[in-house]
Structure 1
Amino acid sequence: MSSAQTTTGADAGAPVVINHERLADFIAEIFRYTGCSDAEAGRIGRSLVGANLAGHDSHGVIRSALYVELLANGVQLADQEIKVLIDSGSLLLLDGQYGMGQTVGPAAVGLGIERCSELGTAVVGLRNAGHLGRIGEYAEMAAAGGLVSVHLVNVANSRLVAPFGSKARRMGTNPCAYGAPVAGRRPVIHDFATSVVAEGKAMVALHGGPPVPANALVSADGEITGDPRVLYSFSEGRRPNSMDGPGALRAMGEHKGSGISVMCELLAGALTGTGTAGPRRVRFANGMLSVYVDPAQIDAAVGETDDGYNGIAADYLDWFYEADAIDSSQPVKLPGDVEHERRQHRMANGITLPAETWESICGGARAAGVAPETITAALHNS
């Protein structure tokens, strides 16, 4: 091995380009070593890589080392099933029992889709879920079933974001996702954190990825900054810890984004019983409140045909795209267009990971007990 190569098989400091299918297989292999079943490990691999394909690197494979740690510490549990606490027809309250988000999240969404398809609407609260990953994935699931959906998420015991006008942590990054299917078109999917950037984007920047905006964070002294280091504490031999760094992420959209984040704490956290970023909770978990509506049943009830939901929506989207762009080389885009373009590009050309991100993944693999030759082969066989 040359001095320019690491034990992971990558040139020191050089980005790693890897085929998405091979990367998903490697991530799945890591989680087989943590005690996850083959089925769950496969779901985790596909979900994390799916986030990278969509360009949401903050919720992609960079999370794998964290997941390994959470499983090792018993914060998240392998192969849990959702428990139904309330079932009153269109209202469901489910307990994820601290299972992996890539298992309990899709299970909860599947129940919501099934109930909405039957009744026309459904409201599903999911409490005590492991990290749910990219929330847009769940809006995409509902849209594939022809359903409109809204998903609000909070993170119990996660204090990362300062409210508008503050430098003190009082909220999680609290993502939201909206999905609207339109017949004959890609669904419109709007998926975003309520902070200027997701914590994972700060982590990606910390590990050699693209920088975050200059207004994304606030230091302990109240300075607005783009330096991701203010979010983390550092100790020898441990992964940077975002939970007790000196600074904070900032809420997006000033007071408006701060307000949306508060509503996520109340509706996804307090209402589901998961808990909030506040002082009452000590165990990490995601809460999610999802609302599903079947537009076909609305059209049928009011007698709409060609001018129903799909026709009205299609007319609007056509008109939206006709908006004159300020820069003709940058046409107007709908939510989800950029993700679609990135997915097509990365599926064709591979996923590029900064060297530090790849080393983080390999560190998680080593911690899980994956053999060195398996780690090296993951890259060389891509």
Structure 2
Amino acid sequence: MTATRSKLDLQEDQRVNVSKAEAVSCMVAIFERLGNTPEVARCVAEHLAETSLSGMESHGVMRTLQYAEQMQNGYLSVGVDTQVIRAPSGATHVDGGGGIGIPAMVQAYETGMQMAVRTGVSALAIRNVGHTGRHGAFADKAGQEGFLTICVGGGNRKNWPQVAPHGGAKGLLPTNPWCIGIPGGARGPVVLDFATSKIAGGWIYAARSAGAQLPDGCLIDRDGNPSRDPEAYFSGGAILPAGGHKGYGLALMGEMIGEAMLGPSSTECNWLLVTLRCDHFRETSAMEVAAEAVLSDMRNCPPAPGFDCVEVPGERERDQYVKSGDRIAIPKATWRQIQELEAGLKA
């Protein structure tokens, strides 16, 4: 095990090491008892565990608590199937049936790649889904199979007014993520997966669950004042946009695509996924050599004060997964809540 890289202000002795197998077994039991099919329960549990093992705590095992609450209160549908729909206009839509969005996003990436094999490029919409997990995992897989993918989400800002626009003191936008993945060099794909907010919404839920504070400069309270307390967000505060006007601009573009172009969204965001077959443009080995030259220049850059090295997006997550030894360092308070949830559903 390596030290946990986290935005939560927690000491290592406030965490418990849980094997991937134990975590998956517990989560599968929870999701099945809440009415999901065994296939959906396994898909979601494996995704959450692998996300935690990759060091992305905000989108990992702790999400079990949020998903379970949403399934219990009817926000998320259970026992539903994902459907691929061809519209009369020729557009392709992946419909998640109002359920958890991870299986729908798996289907969307697979469909997008299948379409791009035939035509070189494809575009499809993903609708009617709940939270769709860590998009970097899907983009990484597509990159390994030779595809460039661009995915952006937006819409439903009336139900998810989480992020203040640049210069504003009130949450008006969702976190509207972007994810871009492309085949890289010798160390695998380059994957850029980010919320347009200063911090992903999942970190706020993770901090609340663990009883932790958040980093400076991420939140404002209901009066527009800076705060590190996750409860400030739940009491009418907001997340700040990443990079000021640039994050706000990307979030606004996500809203224009997700709502103005794709139409009214239900549950959470609408998504647009564009997939390109890279060897349609350049032979695979030549692209890999050129990519490695670019990435080597980045890695060999002298580090600035306070940094150990220059990193390539996507490599940290893959390295962390290998170093994890299939053991997840979960905040003790969070793991206790998950175990209590499983026990309560069993009763």
TM-score normalised by structure 1 residue count: 0.81
In structure 1, the partner of 2:227 is 225
CA distance in 2, matches of 1:138, 1:187: 11
1:1-382 correspondence runs (5 A): 14-78=14-78, 79-86=80-87, 91-154=91-154, 156=156, 157-182=159-184, 184-208=186-210, 211-232=213-234, 245-275=235-265, 283-299=266-282, 308-327=286-305, 330-348=308-326, 350-366=327-343, 369-371=345-347
CA distance in 1, matches of 2:325, 2:217: 32
The 1:175/1:370 distance shift into structure 2, 3 A limit, reads: farther
CA distance in 2, matches of 1:305, 1:315: 14
Which digits, 9 at most, give the CA deviation of each residue in 1:239-292, with x for residues without a partner?
xxxxxx2211111100110111111111133322243xxxxxxx5223211111
CA distance in 2, matches of 1:86, 1:184: 40
SS of the counterpart of 1:177?
strand
CA distance in 2, matches of 1:179, 1:298: 16
The 1:86/1:94 distance shift into structure 2, 3 A limit, reads: farther
SS of the counterpart of 1:285?
coil
Which digits, 9 at most, give the CA deviation of each residue in 1:19-47, with x for residues without a partner?
11221121111111111111111101101
CA distance in 2, matches of 1:227, 1:73: 26
How large is the Cα RMSD of the aligned pairs?
Answer: 2.2
CA distance in 1, matches of 2:264, 2:113: 22
SS of the counterpart of 2:87?
strand
Contact 1:98 1:285 in 2 (8 A): no
CA distance in 1, matches of 2:346, 2:319: 34
**Structure 1 unaligned runs (5+)?**
1-12, 233-244, 276-282, 372-382
Query: In structure 1, what residue type is equivalent to 2:146?
Result: G
Matched residue count: 332
Which digits, 9 at most, give the CA deviation of each residue in 1:309-356, with x for residues without a partner?
3232121112221111124970111001221232122235x2111122
Query: In structure 2, what residue type is equivalent to 1:174?
Result: N
Query: In structure 2, what residue type is equivalent to 1:40?
Result: V
In structure 2, the partner of 1:379 is none
The 1:117/1:209 distance shift into structure 2, 3 A limit, reads: farther
Q: Which moved more, 1:130-139 or 1:180-189?
A: 180-189
TM-score normalised by structure 2 residue count: 0.89
CA distance in 2, matches of 1:212, 1:318: 34
Query: In structure 2, what residue type is equivalent to 1:188?
Result: V
**Structure 2 unaligned runs (5+)?**
1-12
The 1:31/1:305 distance shift into structure 2, 3 A limit, reads: closer
CA distance in 1, matches of 2:89, 2:281: 21
Report the Cα offset of residue 363 of structure 1. Answer: 4.2
The 1:99/1:80 distance shift into structure 2, 3 A limit, reads: farther
SS of the counterpart of 1:222?
coil
Report the Cα offset of residue 305 of structure 1. Answer: 7.7
